[in-house]
Amino acid sequence: MTITVSYSVDYMDTNPTKMTFDNINDAHDWIHEEVARRVQHVVDHSPYTLSETDIQDIEANEYTLVSITDGVVTEFMCI
């Protein structure tokens, strides 16, 4: 079974990043690493001091941009 993960930059992204994996565990690992990388990028480049709540909100938003498909079922990530 091939798992496809689509990760958009934002809700209007017409060309999201797509990755394929042989198993769901590898897909979840990649998603968590990519979310952490994107959140850290926002934190590093923010001109403001971000609270822990701000960072959690950014992370939650990032997970809404991810979808997983295996050809039959679509799973949307949530934390």
Query: For 21-62, what is each residue's pLDDT tens digit?
Result: 999 999 999 999 999 999 999 999 999 999 999 999 999 999
**pTM of the predicted protein model:** 0.85
Residue 72 has pLDDT above 70, yes or no: no
The full DSSP string for 15-58 is: S-EEEEESSHHHHHHHHHHHHHHHHHHHHHH-SSPPPHHHHHHH
- CA atoms of 62 and 38, how far apart (whole Å): 8
